[in-house]
Amino acid sequence: MDEPTERGEDTPQRASPSPSDSDFFSNILAPGSSLNPTFLLVVDGVLALLFVTLGTLVSVTGGNLHLIALLFIVLALWVSIKWFVNELQAPGHPSQSTESDIKKSE
């Protein structure tokens, strides 16, 4: 009969996240992260996947009105996010002021 092993030896260990994963998630929480191109690409990918999923469900269910409404809500959310990011990137937006601009105004 085998001897009992110490606690935790036979349990698999989780792989720690790679440095790029932790950098990505820490950058999401940083101020101004909504203009990070990687973050915007992830948001676009997630919303596109949701749109395709709902579109597929609409076609499979034969045009369920609830799914059609959700499809339009996703589309409206996607458009509003794109509009908001475009407004943030517009020249002259207060979020784009540099430290030198702030010191000049003081």
pLDDT tens, 54-97?
A: 999 999 999 999 999 999 999 999 999 999 999 988 887 666 55
Give this prediction's pTM.
0.62
4 compared with 79, residue with greater pLDDT: 79
Give buried/exposed letters for 50-81 (b at 16+ CB in 10 A, else e): ebeebeeebeeeeeeeebeebbeebeeebeee
For the stretch 30-59, pLDDT in tens is 777 777 888 889 899 999 999 999 999 999
The pLDDT score that the predictor gives to residue 75 is 96
